[in-house]
Structure 1
Amino acid sequence: MIVYHGSTEIIKKPDVLHSYRLLDFGQGFYVTTVKEQAIRWARRKAGLQKDKSAIVNCYQMADDFGDLEHKTFPEDLFEWIDFVCKCRDGNSAYKEHDLISGKVANDKVFRVVDLYRTGIWDKDRALKEIKAYPNYDQIAFITQKAIDKLLIYDSYFEV
C-alpha cells in the first residue's frame, strides 16, 4: 500500500525523533492513505515556512505488522475522541503502541474535540458533529521499530 507524508522536506529516512509536538495520536511520524490530505498538509506547512516548497513524500507500507503493537480505532469514534483528547493534553499512554491508525482531527474536527475536552459539549454532541466532516485517515508511527519494519521510501513530488 502507498502512504503519503506532507512536508517541506524530502524524507527518505523517516524517524520519530523529529516529531516535535503532541498530535492526535501522540508524538510520532504521521502518514495517510489519502493523497489529497497529504497535499493539504504539505501546503499548510509550506505556508507557515514561506521560503520552503510543499513536498509530498510517498512510501510503500507493508501490510504484515508481525509482532508490532498496532492500535486502530473503529469508525464509531467513541474511544477515539477520548484518546485524542488525552494525547493532545500530553498523556503518554500512546507509547504502549508501535503504530496507531484512525480518523484525523483536522482543524474543523479539532474544534469539536476541543469543545468536548473543555466540557462545553457532551460526547454525543461532539461525535454527531464530527461525522459531518470528511473521513480522512492517519497512521502514526510511534516507534522507530515500526518505521524500519513497515515503511520504504518510494518517491516525492512538489505541490
Structure 2
Amino acid sequence: MIVYHGSIEKVVNPEIREANRPLDYGYGFYTTTSEKQATLWVRRKLKGKGGKGYVNLYELDETCYKDLNILHFTEPTEKWVDFVMANRTTKDFDHPYDIVGGPVANDRVYAAFALYESGLLNKEELIRELKTHVLSDQWLFHTVRSLHYISFKEAKEVNL
C-alpha cells in the first residue's frame, strides 16, 4: 500500500510527534492513501505563508498487519465516533494501537461533530450524517515501532 504525508518539508525519516491540539486518532505520524488529500493538507499549511511544501510518498510493508496492533475503521461507526471523541476531548487519552486507519474528519465533518457535542445530534444521527459525505482516509502511525514498516520513496513539490 502507498501512503502520503503532506508537509512543508521533505520527511525522509518520519517521527512520532506530540500534537499541539487534539487530533482524531491521537499523536503520531499521519498519512493518507489519497495523494489529493495530502496535497490539501500541504496547501492548508501554506495558506497565508506562501512558499512550497511536499507530498511525501511511502510504501507500507504489509507484514505490519500480522506484526502490529492495528485498529481499522472502514466507515463511520459508533466505535469510530467514540474513539475520535475520546482522542479529541479526553485529556491525556492514549490508546494501545500501533496504527489506526479510517475516515478523516474534514471541515464539514467537524461541524457535524460540533452538533453532536452540543447535543443537537445523537450518535445515530451523527453517523447517518457522516455517511452522506465522501470521506478520505487517514492512517496514523502511533508508535516508533510502526514507523519501521513504512519506507520513503519520494517527495513531490506542492506550491500554493
The two structures have a TM-score, normalised by structure 2, of 0.90
Task: Give the Cα–Cα distance (whole angstroms) in 1 for the partners of residues 62 and 133 of structure 2.
Answer: 27
Determine the structure 2 residue equivalent to 1:25: 25
User: CA shift at 1:117, angstroms?
Assistant: 2.1
Unaligned runs of 5+ in 1: none
Unaligned runs of 5+ in 2: none
Q: Quick check: 7-16 or 69-78, which moved more? A: 69-78
> What is the identity percentage for the equivalent residue pairs of Structure 1 and Structure 2?
36
Task: Give the Cα–Cα distance (whole angstroms) in 2 for the partners of residues 136 and 111 of structure 1.
Answer: 16
Is contact 1:5-1:57 (8 Å) kept? Answer: yes
> When the two structures are aligned, how many residues end up with a matched partner?
157
Is contact 2:34-2:136 (8 Å) kept? Answer: yes
User: CA shift at 1:7, angstroms?
Assistant: 0.9
Task: Give the Cα–Cα distance (whole angstroms) in 1 for the partners of residues 99 and 92 of structure 2.
Answer: 14
Is contact 2:14-2:29 (8 Å) kept? Answer: yes
Structure 1, residues 45-86: CA drift from partner, whole Å, max 9, x if none?
1115x0441311111111111331111114252210111111
Determine the structure 1 residue equivalent to 2:60: 61
Task: Give the Cα–Cα distance (whole angstroms) in 2 for the partners of residues 158 and 76 of structure 1.
Answer: 32
CA RMSD of aligned residues (A): 1.7
Structure 1, residues 5-61: CA drift from partner, whole Å, max 9, x if none?
01111110001135433210011110000111111111111115x044131111111
**Structure 1 residues 30 and 109: CA distance shift in structure 2, 3 A:** same
Q: Quick check: 62-71 or 91-100, which moved more? A: 91-100
- SS of the residue corresponding to residue 47 of structure 2 reads helix
